[in-house]
Amino acid sequence: MRLSQAFLPTRKEDPADAEVVSHRLLVRAGYIRMIARGIYTFLPLGWRSVRKIEAVVREEMDRAGALEIMMPAVQPAELWEESGRWDEYGPELLRLTDRKGADFCVGPTHEEVVTDLVRGDIKSYKQLPINLYQIQTKFRDEVRPRFGLMRGREFVMKDAYSFDVDIESAETSYQAMFDAYHRIFQRLGFEYRAVEADTGNIGGSTSHEFQVLADTGEDEIVSCSQCGYAANVEKAEIRVDATDREDVELHPTEKVPTPNASSISDVAAFLDKAPQEIVKTLIFQAEETLVAVLLRGDHDANPIKIATYLRDHTDIEVGDLHLATDAAITKATNAPVGFAGPVGLSIPVFADLAIRPLANFTVGANEADTHLLNVNYDRDFQVTAFADLRLAREGDACGRCGGALTSHRGIEVGHVFLLGDKYSRSMEAHFLDQNGRHQPMQMGCYGIGVTRILAAVVEQNHDDDGIIWPMAIAPYHAILTVLHPDNEDVMAIANDYYQQLQDAGVEVLLDDRNAGIGAKFKDADLIGIPLRVTLGARGVKEGQAELKLRHAPDKEFLSIDDVVPRVIDEVHSALHKS
Ligand code: ATP
Ligand code: MG
C-alpha cells in the first residue's frame, strides 16, 4: 500500500475518554474510530490486524476439528424463552421488535441458536460428536463500556459449541479446545495464563479462562509457582490454618461512640486499632432471606465462594446472591449502613475462617455512630458456620500445595466452559443412543474475544512512541520510508524494493508522501510496523539504506542490494517462530 493513497489518519491527541494505552494508541495510530459508546469502526490497518487474529484462530479451530458456520446476529425471542434466558439475561441483552410486533435480540452469544440448529438435524449418536464455530459480531449492552476495544458493546467473538453423547466424551472435546487455545495464544505471542474459573450458576462443571497478563486487566488472578495452580480470584482456593482462638482472657464488651466512622479505615483510625482487630459484617441478600458474613477488616468478601458455600452446605435458597440494599440493611440492623454487627442480629451469621483465632475484636453495634469493643463469638453471638469466604490475595497459601500465591491482573481473552446439559435439556436437544434411548447431548462452549485481543496485544507490546506489533498480526510486515520522494533515483529504488518484497509475499507499506522526515518516522513508530527500511538521497548516493527493527533500539546500514533478501529473511524467521 502506498501511503500517498492510503487511509491512515494518525492523530497527535489522545481520545478524551481513554484510560488505557491500547485505547489511546489504536485511536491515535488510525486503527479504530468510535461511533457511539463501545461501538467502533475498524479502519484499514485495524481491520487487517483483526483479520490476522481471525486467521490464527480459524486455523487452530479447523486443526482441532471444529467446523465453521455463520449464525444470524438477530435471534428470535422464542428460542431464548425456551432456554429461560429471555427473562434471566437482563439489560445486557439488546432487544428489538420487528414490524409485526415479534420480539428479537441481537446475539450476545449463540447457545440457543446453535442448540436449535443441532437438535433439528442431529438425531443419532452416530452423528456425534460435533463442534461448530463462527467468528461474528456480538452485541452486549454493557453497563460500563470502556477501555476502547477491551470492553465494547459491539465486538467480534469466535464462539464454538461442542455436542457429545456423554460427559467423558464432552471432556475430550473440552480438552481439544483447551489445547487449541494454548496454541492460539502462543502464536499470538502473549504472556498469558490459563486459569480455573468460576462456573457461575450453571454449577458443577469445568471452566478455564485464558488471561493475558497486563496491569490494565479488569480481572485479578492468582498463581502458584510451586505447583502451577492458577485461578481467577473469584474461584481461587486458599489454604487456611483455622486454629481456634487461644485461651486468652475475654474482656467485657464495651460500647464506644464512633461518630461518622463507618468504613474500616475510619474506625481503625478513630479507635487507633489495626484493621485486623476489627471484624466487618456484610449483609447479603439471598433469594428470600438475608445472611450476615463476618470478615477480618483487612480481608475482602468473595461473593462467589459465599454463594457456593451456602448452596452446598445450607438449606438457604441462594438465588442471585448480592449485597443487600441499604434499606434491607437498615431494617435488619436497625442502624444506618456502616454500623452492622453480629451481636443481637436475628439472621444467620457465617464467619470467614480468619475470624476463628480472633478474641476481643471490634464490631459495629447495630446503632448509629457506635461500635462494640471486646466482642467474642460464642459468648456474645453465635456463628452458624466458619468457612473460607474471602478473596484470595498475594501471599496467601495455595489451596493445592500450600506454596505462596502471587497475584496478577489479567485481560480475559478466552473462556472454555463445559456446559453439560443445561441447554440441551431445556431446549430438548436429544439424540438416540446405542440402545435406542433418548438422551440430552452434553455440551461445551468456547469463546475468544477477537477484537479484545487486538487491544490486549497493544497492552503488552508498545513503548512511548507507539505500538510494536508482533509480526504475526502486524497489519503490514515492513514499511519503506522514503525521505525524498521527489528524488527520482531514490524513488526508483523504493519502487523496486516495493515490487520485489510484495512478490516475495512480504506485506509492505511505501511511505511516498510529501511529508516531513520527522512526521514520517513518528507515524512509522506510532503504527508499529515491525521493520522499517529508510531510503534517503544521501544514503542512495553512497549505495546504502537503513534498516530498523521496531522492537530494537539500533539502526543498521545495509548496502542497497542486501536490503530485500534481509527483509524477507527477517519476516520469514519471525513468522515461523510463532
Ligand atoms: P467478561 O467477564 O470480560 O465480561 P464474559 O465472561 O462475559 O467476559 P464470555 O461470555 O465468556 O465473556 O465471552 C467470551 C469472550 O468474549 C471473553 O473471553 C472476552 O474475550 C470476549 N468479550 C466478552 N465481553 C466482551 C466485551 N464487552 N468487549 C470485548 N470482548 C468481550
Ligand atoms: Mg461479560
The residue contributing the CA closest to ligand 1 atom 8 is: 412
Q: How confident is the model at residue 243 (pLDDT cuts 50, 70, 90)?
A: confident
Query: Which listed ligand is nearest to 415 at the C-alpha?
Result: 1
Helices 44-63 and 450-460, packing angle to 10 deg: 110
The residue contributing the CA closest to ligand 1 atom 19 is: 449
Instruction: For residue 108, report the distance from its CA to the centre of ligand 1, in Å.
Output: 10
Confidence at residue 101, expressed as pLDDT on a 0 to 100 scale: 98
Query: Which listed ligand is nearest to 138 at the C-alpha?
Result: 1
Write the single-letter amino acid at 306.
I
Query: Which listed ligand is nearest to 157 at the C-alpha?
Result: 1
- Cell readout for 186 is 502462543
Q: How confident is the model at residue 400 (pLDDT cuts 50, 70, 90)?
A: very high
Per the CB < 8 A criterion, the answer to whether 173 and 131 are in contact is yes
Per the CB < 8 A criterion, the answer to whether 68 and 134 are in contact is yes
Residue 219 Cβ inside 6 Å of ligand 1? The answer reads no
Q: How confident is the model at residue 242 (pLDDT cuts 50, 70, 90)?
A: confident
Per the CB < 8 A criterion, the answer to whether 339 and 364 are in contact is yes
Contacts of 490-493 with CB under 8 Å at 24 or more apart are: 490/535, 490/536, 490/537, 490/540, 493/535, 493/540, 493/545, 493/560
Instruction: For residue 232, report the distance from its CA to the centre of ligand 2, in Å.
Output: 15
CB-based contacts of 56, cutoff 8 Å, min separation 6: 184, 187, 188, 472, 473
Q: Which residue has the cell 439489560?
A: 91
Residue 338 Cβ inside 6 Å of ligand 1? The answer reads no
pLDDT tens-digit readout, 543-567: 999 999 999 999 999 999 999 999 9
Contacts of 86-93 with CB under 8 Å at 24 or more apart are: 91/141, 91/143, 92/140, 92/141, 92/142, 92/143, 93/140, 93/141
Residue 414 Cβ inside 6 Å of ligand 1? The answer reads yes
pLDDT tens-digit readout, 205-223: 699 999 999 999 999 999 9
Other residues' Cβ atoms within 10 Å of the Cβ of residue 451: 25
Other residues' Cβ atoms within 10 Å of the Cβ of residue 278: 23
Other residues' Cβ atoms within 10 Å of the Cβ of residue 203: 12
pTM: predicted TM-score of the whole model, two decimal places = 0.91
pLDDT tens-digit readout, 454-479: 999 999 999 999 999 999 999 999 99
Q: What's the maximum distance between 2 C-alpha atoms anywhere in the chain?
A: 95
Residue 415 Cβ inside 6 Å of ligand 1? The answer reads yes
Confidence at residue 576, expressed as pLDDT on a 0 to 100 scale: 87
The residue contributing the CA closest to ligand 1 atom 25 is: 151
Instruction: For residue 411, report the distance from its CA to the centre of ligand 1, in Å.
Output: 10
- 578 has pLDDT over 80: no
Measured on CA atoms in the order 115, 117, 120, 125, is the torsion positive or negative?
negative
Pocket test for ligand 1, best of 53, 415, 445, 446 (most atoms within 8 A of CB): 415
- 203 has pLDDT over 80: no
The residue contributing the CA closest to ligand 1 atom 1 is: 412
CB-based contacts of 249, cutoff 8 Å, min separation 6: none
Residue 151 Cβ inside 6 Å of ligand 1? The answer reads yes
- 391 has pLDDT over 90: yes
* DSSP summary character for residue 277: G
Average pLDDT over residues 30-41: 97
Sort strands 219-224 and 322-323 into parallel, antiparallel or unpaired.
unpaired
Instruction: For residue 39, report the distance from its CA to the centre of ligand 1, in Å.
Output: 15
What Rg do the C-alpha atoms of the chain give, in angstroms?
Answer: 29
pLDDT tens-digit readout, 118-153: 999 999 999 999 999 999 999 999 999 999 999 999
Residue 142 Cβ inside 6 Å of ligand 1? The answer reads yes
- Cell readout for 150 is 477491551
Pocket test for ligand 1, best of 144, 178, 412, 459 (most atoms within 8 A of CB): 412
Per the CB < 8 A criterion, the answer to whether 158 and 56 are in contact is no
Confidence at residue 262, expressed as pLDDT on a 0 to 100 scale: 85
- 200 has pLDDT over 90: no
Percent of the chain with pLDDT over 70: 99
* DSSP summary character for residue 542: T
The residue contributing the CA closest to ligand 1 atom 4 is: 151
Confidence at residue 218, expressed as pLDDT on a 0 to 100 scale: 94
Query: Which listed ligand is nearest to 108 at the C-alpha?
Result: 1
The residue contributing the CA closest to ligand 1 atom 11 is: 415
Residue 141 Cβ inside 6 Å of ligand 1? The answer reads no
Q: Strand 254-257's sheet: what is its strand order? A: 254-257, 370-375, 361-364
Query: Which listed ligand is nearest to 453 at the C-alpha?
Result: 1
Q: What is the 3-state secondary structure (H, E, C) of 216-268?
A: CCCEEEEEECCCCCEEECCCCCEECCCCCCCCCCCCCCEEEECCCCCCHHHHH
Q: CA-CA distance, 549 to 528, in Å (whole number)?
A: 10
The torsion angles phi and psi of 91, rounded to 5 degrees, stand at -70, -5
Other residues' Cβ atoms within 10 Å of the Cβ of residue 17: 13
Residue 447 Cβ inside 6 Å of ligand 1? The answer reads yes
3-state secondary structure of 551: coil
Query: Measuring CA to CA, which residue among 246, 241, 255, 244 is closest to residue 380?
Result: 255
Instruction: For residue 516, report the distance from its CA to the centre of ligand 2, in Å.
Output: 45
pLDDT tens-digit readout, 299-331: 999 999 999 899 999 999 998 899 999 999 999
CB-based contacts of 535, cutoff 8 Å, min separation 6: 480, 481, 482, 483, 490, 493, 494, 497, 545, 546
Instruction: For residue 150, report the distance from its CA to the centre of ligand 2, in Å.
Output: 11
Quick check: bond before 15 cis, omega within 30? no
Alpha carbon 408 to its chain's center: 13
- 401 has pLDDT over 80: yes
On average, the pLDDT of the chain sits at 95
Query: Which listed ligand is nearest to 140 at the C-alpha?
Result: 1
Alpha carbon 353 to its chain's center: 30
